[in-house]
């Protein structure tokens, strides 16, 4: 019990420092670093399996509360761009995964999971169940997030303003209505529903089912009663649990192997840049989405982050957010199962 407390404390303090200096995914990456340093220095880091299960349930619930009824209505209009986006991301995932596998020391499952365009809170903890090296997956997902938030948006803004790519599309601006609120009773109800279905998912024996079942159950609760809510602090708590779980198994030999992640990082970034440009242009030419909006939808970052970034670079439509939410739900629920099947067939 004492080792668990020390692990949580080390993860929390390091996570807070990372958040203070505004590192993307700071609590997740910081808690991994804190627990890993504790384990390397003292071999005392400990996180029970229940911590991983709780992290999956909370992460699934948080994704679920992000979906709105208006998103489903809007999906009738943008389902074709959504299908194109998901198909493009799936191709990117498979191609990048195999390239990482062939040009690095990572195993196939770790390579494929590292290239999933999901969330930094979700994919590393799912990868643990899939038999991948979750610490390496987390670091490569961190690289994706940093460039997705820090580099891609400004690059997109500059490209879309070039004369060759200049938008000539006048498009009706879609404004998304958010029902975000906080109520203690609704939060407890949300957590209870997510926990019940998350445990059912665990008992099913299907990898990543805990997160997926909790996510689907909360989506149903949100759309049927509008009583689902989850404060941002719970997301940070899930990141802390997941980060401490991953970091607690980190050893000195794992640290020595981090140098092998340079090539996978380059492959990942080149792949995402290419996909952002190609998929964005397809959405622009075929479905007449403005180029900046189309490329931002194909950027590997989170829906909540895109909501802030899109406003900063002058995009008023909420289609970017809706497409990012659809990408996130699909990437978390379907992509890991597809990657697992591919790895099994390839082996």
Express each pLDDT in 226-275 by its tens digit.
889 888 888 889 889 988 988 898 888 888 888 889 999 999 999 999 99
The pLDDT confidence band at residue 327, using thresholds 50, 70 and 90, is confident
Q: Which residue has the higher pLDDT, 14 or 118?
A: 14
CA distance 246 to 133: 9
Furthest C-alpha separation in the chain: 63
Q: What is the mean pLDDT of residues 189-218?
A: 91
Separation of alpha carbons 258 and 276, rounded Å: 27
For 63, phi then psi, to 5°, come to -65, -40
Which range has highest mean pLDDT (84-88, 233-237, 289-293)?
84-88
Least confident residue range of 125-139, 165-179, 221-235, 302-316: 165-179
Higher-confidence residue of 86 and 62: namely 86
Other CB atoms within a 10 A radius of the CB of residue 69 amount to 13
Higher local confidence (pLDDT), 137 or 176: 137
Please, what is the average pLDDT of the chain? 86
For residues 171-177, average pLDDT: 59
Helix (H) or strand (E) holding 345: helix 335-346
The predicted-structure confidence for 19-40, as pLDDT tens digits, reads as follows 998 887 788 889 999 999 999 9
**Whole-number pLDDT of residue 90:** 96
| Sign of the alpha-carbon dihedral angle for 297, 198, 54, 252 | negative
Residue 317 has pLDDT above 70, yes or no: no
Q: So what's the pLDDT on residue 169?
A: 52
Cα distances (angstroms) measured from residue 134 to each of 120, 233, 258: 11, 23, 13
Q: Which of 35, 39, 71 is nearest to 55 (CA)?
A: 35
**With contact defined as beta carbons under 8 Å apart, do 66 and 325 qualify?**
yes
Q: Exposed (0-12), middle (13-18) or buried (19+): which is 167, by Cβ within 10 Å?
A: middle
Q: Which of 13 and 296 is assigned the larger pLDDT? A: 13
| Weakest-pLDDT range from 88-97, 99-108, 148-157 | 148-157
Q: Which conformational region is residue 131 in: left (phi greater than 0), alpha (psi within -120 to 50 degrees), or beta?
A: left
Task: Reply yes or no on whether the pLDDT at 96 is more than 90.
Answer: yes
Residue 225 pLDDT > 70, yes or no?
Answer: yes
pLDDT of residue 119: 76
Q: What is the mean pLDDT of residues 136-162?
A: 81
Name, in order, each residue with C-beta under 8 angstroms of 110's C-beta and a sequence gap of 6 or more.
Answer: 127, 132, 133, 136, 137
Mean pLDDT over residues 186-208, rounded? 91
Q: What does the block give as tokens for 179?
A: 């029902």
What pLDDT, on a 0 to 100 scale, did the predictor assign at position 311?
62
Q: Is the pLDDT of residue 102 over 90?
A: yes
């Amino acid at each position: 019990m004492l080792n668990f407390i020390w692990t949580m404390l080390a993860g929390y303090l390091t996570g807070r420092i990372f958040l203070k200096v505004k590192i993307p995914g700071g609590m997740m990456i910081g808690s991994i670093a804190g627990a890993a340093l504790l384990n390397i220095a003292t071999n005392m880091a400990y996180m029970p399996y229940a911590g991983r299960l709780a992290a999956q349930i909370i992460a699934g619930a948080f994704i679920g509360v992000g979906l709105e009824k208006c998103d489903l209505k809007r999906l009738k209009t943008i389902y074709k761009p959504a299908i194109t986006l998901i198909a493009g991301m799936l191709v990117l995932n498979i191609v990048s995964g195999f390239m990482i596998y062939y040009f690095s020391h990572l195993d196939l499952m770790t390579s494929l999971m590292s290239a999933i365009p999901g969330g930094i809170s979700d994919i590393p903890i799912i990868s643990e169940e899939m038999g991948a090296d979750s610490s390496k997956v987390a670091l490569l997902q961190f690289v994706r997030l940093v460039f997705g938030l820090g580099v891609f948006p400004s690059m997109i803004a500059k490209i879309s303003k070039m004369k060759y790519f200049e938008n000539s599309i006048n498009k009706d601006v879609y404004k998304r209505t958010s029902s975000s609120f906080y109520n203690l009773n609704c939060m407890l109800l949300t957590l209870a529903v997510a926990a019940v279905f998350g445990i059912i998912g665990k008992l099913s024996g299907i990898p990543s089912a805990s997160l997926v079942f909790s996510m689907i159950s909360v989506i149903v609760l949100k759309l049927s009663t509008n009583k689902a809510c989850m404060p941002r602090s719970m997301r940070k708590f899930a990141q802390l649990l997941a980060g401490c779980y991953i970091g607690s198994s980190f050893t000195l030999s794992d640290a020595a192997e981090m140098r092998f992640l340079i090539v996978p990082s380059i492959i990942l970034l080149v792949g995402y840049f290419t996909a952002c440009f190609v998929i964005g242009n397809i959405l622009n030419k075929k479905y007449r989405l403005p180029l900046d909006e189309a490329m931002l939808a194909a950027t590997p970052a989170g829906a909540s982050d895109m909501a802030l970034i899109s406003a900063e670079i002058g995009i008023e439509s909420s289609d970017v957010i809706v497409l990012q939410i659809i990408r996130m739900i699909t990437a978390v629920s379907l992509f890991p199962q597809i990657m697992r099947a591919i790895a099994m067939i390839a082996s």
